[in-house]
């Protein structure tokens, strides 16, 4: 893994510098604003510093490689869901013991949160020493490594509690075991796990406004996930913050209130809106607003088990005239059960290649499904919505924030 720092007048400029040097696959690990110091600071502007990383060719990502430890450790970490992970060395046999275990766990989580809050400093230290491993100064190597092993088990438990699938949790910590055998500190282990998870989630993939106009943006997904509200939030940002001309089309004629809801948003934004009653009407409707920058298409929500509606959706998307550039966004709720999300990911993959928008993050505290679906589908993450307020309750997918929360942060 290559990790470097880049500075720019804006966050976007610093990120662009990182991608120019590291390539399009570069992932932002951390962003901070550096404010000027000294008596002349009022005449100077702040700069933004981005810490970015990219996996190197041949970087370890597969099965565990053989490493001979210098001390006695378990041969492998194979933590399964039915394995009972105890934070203490004895089994809980009484109410008093259970209370002790709770205190121990709470202290462990508090320590984990403290370390997560200090991640920026850990990354800085790694860069300062040339990304060399940060090791404990304690000379009692076996004790230090035993602590590292306990720490990894705590990370594993935390990931499961946040509903990261067991398979992916094991993959993450399987990689962490490789560095643990070399006597790394818990801070370095945490930093490594954090970086790996950041890279696996990737940078958010947003609407591409660099191509020819108009760009047609389809929003698809199950019922009740907030597609119409999400469209309004995103369209508002592109119109109000970037000054782009936006237009709306809706094919959601199943839900009585959907059309009126979108019409209200269109009126507020002073944007045209048209209703599509069949897939054949799509290109004609786009032709009437082809001088606009972005055309947002609201589609009908339906059960992924409804084969007829799935077929109709695919027919409409495939029927778009080739002269138009388009993107498809699958909108799903963060509160949906994992098994249902797998089915949704599979069914909609047959309809179109999509990017994913997660909604209703304010209605759950466990974000594991976000990581799970990214790993399962391979689809890029885009936006995340956390409320009903338009246009405020939406943001670009914040990889750093989500990973910190998955690892036990706030």
Residue pLDDT, tens place only, 131-177: 444 444 344 454 555 777 788 888 899 999 999 999 999 998 888 77
Q: Is residue 18 part of a domain?
A: yes
Q: Is residue 210 part of a domain?
A: no
Burial annotation 320-344 (CB, 10 A radius, 16+ → b, else e): beeebebbbbbbbbbebeeeebbeb
Calculate the average pLDDT of the chain.
Answer: 78
Q: Which of 356 and 30 is assigned the larger pLDDT?
A: 356
- The C-alpha angle 26, 29, 31, rounded to 5 degrees, equals 110
Within this chain, do residues 171 and 269 fall inside the same structural domain, yes or no? no
Q: Tokens 């390539």 label which residue? A: 23
Within this chain, do residues 195 and 298 fall inside the same structural domain, yes or no? no
Q: Which of 221 and 19 is assigned the larger pLDDT?
A: 221
Within this chain, do residues 167 and 223 fall inside the same structural domain, yes or no? no
Structural domain harbouring 121: 95-201
Within this chain, do residues 110 and 149 fall inside the same structural domain, yes or no? yes
Mean pLDDT of the 88-104 span? 45
Among residues 134, 168, 201, which one ends one of the domains? 201
Cα–Cα dist 167/371, whole Å: 12
Q: Among 79-83, 233-237, 323-327, 345-349, name the one with the lowest average pLDDT.
A: 79-83
Within this chain, do residues 234 and 369 fall inside the same structural domain, yes or no? yes
Q: Find out whether 264 and 258 touch, Cβ atoms under 8 Å.
A: no
Mean pLDDT of the 232-251 span? 93
pLDDT of residue 153: 85
The band of 35, judged by pLDDT with boundaries at 50, 70 and 90, is confident
Q: Which of 93 and 349 is assigned the larger pLDDT?
A: 349
Q: Summarize pLDDT for 368-406 with one digit per residue, the tens.
A: 999 999 999 999 999 999 988 888 889 999 999 999 999
Within this chain, do residues 24 and 112 fall inside the same structural domain, yes or no? no
Mean pLDDT of the 41-60 span? 66
> Domain containing 40 — which CATH number?
3.30.1660
> Domain containing 219 — which CATH number?
3.40.50.300
Q: Is residue 59 part of a domain?
A: no
63, pLDDT greater than 90: no
Total structural domains in the chain?
3
C-alpha pair distances (Å), 232 with each of 150, 220, 242, 393? 47, 14, 15, 11
pLDDT of residue 391: 85
pLDDT of residue 104: 52
119, pLDDT greater than 90: no
Within this chain, do residues 187 and 331 fall inside the same structural domain, yes or no? no
Element (H, E) at 316: helix 307-318
pLDDT of residue 372: 96
Q: Summarize pLDDT for 178-221 with one digit per residue, the tens.
A: 776 656 677 888 888 998 899 999 999 999 888 888 999 999 99
Q: Which of 79 and 118 is assigned the larger pLDDT?
A: 118
Q: Is residue 352 part of a domain?
A: yes
Cα–Cα dist 5/96, whole Å: 50
76, pLDDT greater than 80: no
Within this chain, do residues 38 and 165 fall inside the same structural domain, yes or no? no
Within this chain, do residues 165 and 222 fall inside the same structural domain, yes or no? no
Q: Is residue 408 part of a domain?
A: no
Contacts of 135 (CB under 8 A, 6+ apart): 183, 184, 185, 188
Decide: pTM greater than 0.75: no
pLDDT of residue 191: 86
Among residues 170, 201, 232, which one ends one of the domains? 201
pLDDT of residue 387: 85
pLDDT of residue 98: 52
Within this chain, do residues 309 and 348 fall inside the same structural domain, yes or no? yes
Q: Summarize pLDDT for 322-352 with one digit per residue, the tens.
A: 999 999 999 999 999 999 999 999 999 989 9
What proportion of the chain, given as a percentage, has pLDDT over 70?
A: 72
Task: Give Cα 142 distance to the centre of its chain.
Answer: 36
Among residues 149, 170, 201, which one ends one of the domains? 201
Q: Is residue 75 part of a domain?
A: no
Within this chain, do residues 153 and 293 fall inside the same structural domain, yes or no? no
Within this chain, do residues 278 and 387 fall inside the same structural domain, yes or no? yes
Total Cβ atoms within 10 A of residue 85? 11
288, pLDDT greater than 60: yes
Q: Is residue 67 part of a domain?
A: no
Q: Is residue 82 part of a domain?
A: no
């Amino acid at each position: 893994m290559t990790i470097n720092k880049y500075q720019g007048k804006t966050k976007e400029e610093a990120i662009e510098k990182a991608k120019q040097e590291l390539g399009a696959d570069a992932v932002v690990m951390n962003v901070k604003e550096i404010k000027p110091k000294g008596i002349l600071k009022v005449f100077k502007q702040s700069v933004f510093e981005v810490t970015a990383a990219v996996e190197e060719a041949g970087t370890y990502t597969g099965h565990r490689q053989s490493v001979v430890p210098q001390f006695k450790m378990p041969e492998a970490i194979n933590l399964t869901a039915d394995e009972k992970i105890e934070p203490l060395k004895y089994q809980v046999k009484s109410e008093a013991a259970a209370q002790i275990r709770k205190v121990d766990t709470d202290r462990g989580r508090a320590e984990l949160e403290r370390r997560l809050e200090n991640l920026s400093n850990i990354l800085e230290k790694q860069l300062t020493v040339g990304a060399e491993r940060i090791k404990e100064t304690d000379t009692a190597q076996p004790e230090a490594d035993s602590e590292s092993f306990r720490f990894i088990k705590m990370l594993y438990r935390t990931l499961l509690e946040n509903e990261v699938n067991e398979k992916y949790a094991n993959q993450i910590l399987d990689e962490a075991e490789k560095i643990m055998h070399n006597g790394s500190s818990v801070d370095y282990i945490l930093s490594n796990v954090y970086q790996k998870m950041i890279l696996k989630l990737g940078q958010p993939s947003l609407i591409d406004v660099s191509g020819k106009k108009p760009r047609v943006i389809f929003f698809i997904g199950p019922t009740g996930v907030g597609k119409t509200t999400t469209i309004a939030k995103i369209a508002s940002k592109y119109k109000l913050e970037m000054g782009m001309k936006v237009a709306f089309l809706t094919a959601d004629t199943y839900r009585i209130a959907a059309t009126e809801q979108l019409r209200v948003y269109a009126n507020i934004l002073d944007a045209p809106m048209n209703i599509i009653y069949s897939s054949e009407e799509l290109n004609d409707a786009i032709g009437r607003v082809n001088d606009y920058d972005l055309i947002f298409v609201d589609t009908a929500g339906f059960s992924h088990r409804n084969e007829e509606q799935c077929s109709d959706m695919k027919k409409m998307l495939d029927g778009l005239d080739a002269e138009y550039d388009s993107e498809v966004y699958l909108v799903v709720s963060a509160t949906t059960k994992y098994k249902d999300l797998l089915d949704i990911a599979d069914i909609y993959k047959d309809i179109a290649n999509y990017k994913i928008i997660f909604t209703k993050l304010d209605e759950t505290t466990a974000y594991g499904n976000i990581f799970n679906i990214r790993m399962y589908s391979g689809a890029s993450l885009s936006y995340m919505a956390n409320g009903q307020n338009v246009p405020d309750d939406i943001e670009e997918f914040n990889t750093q924030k989500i990973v910190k929360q998955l690892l036990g942060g706030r």
